[in-house]
Amino acid sequence: MKKLLAYLFTVAAIFWGATSSASLMGDEVLLSCMQSGSPSPVCEGNGEMPAIVGADVEYPDYFNFQNSLSIDISAESIWVTFDNGPYCGWFTCDGQGFLDFWLTDLDWRHSDGSLMDGMIVGIEVITNMSGVLTDWGPHSVHFSLPETQVTDDMFLHIDLITRHGDVPEPETLAIFALALTGLGIFRRRRAQ
């Protein structure tokens, strides 16, 4: 009985520390932008801009307007903030258009950096701006900012709701281990 209890505590301790960590950290993501009503299909003539996601990785000064717009990609969310406001939109400031952003090639990684099977299944948007449009795909996020008066206290926060196919949950592993232990005890008693 002592051996069984020691075994159970060991298994519980091992699986207690097993976490289902999945993150964008270390992934290379691509940012592209389009201005409505602009003769250029991409913002400021920039194509896709790559960046490796990590601590404090941003796409700063995308429009060369005194660091007016910052897009910060963290492990499981995206922050858009505005600096040095107030100023009037990006082009017309008449509310007739949008500034569209696409973040693509979002891949999740294990803690060792290897790729995992994960995808976005939804987003949760928190903002104090009106007229913001959002959309998502399995490996991308799209948001549209209205051309309007912008102040430095405005923000857009997008939490990524994801599903990871190859990340075992600790609770599932613990239940499986307990079931195997119970089956072993049952067979042992039955054999006696």
**In the chain, where are the structural domains located?**
28-164
Euclidean distance between the first and the last CA atom of the chain, given in angstroms as a whole number: 15
Distance of alpha carbon 51 from the chain centroid: 14
User: Which of 9-13, 20-24, 134-138, 152-156 is modeled with the greatest confidence?
Assistant: 134-138
User: Which tops the pLDDT comparison, 12 or 144?
Assistant: 144
The yes-or-no verdict on residue 186 having pLDDT over 60 is yes
Full-model pTM: 0.66
pLDDT tens digits, one per residue of 19-60:
445 677 777 888 877 776 666 656 656 667 777 777 455 554
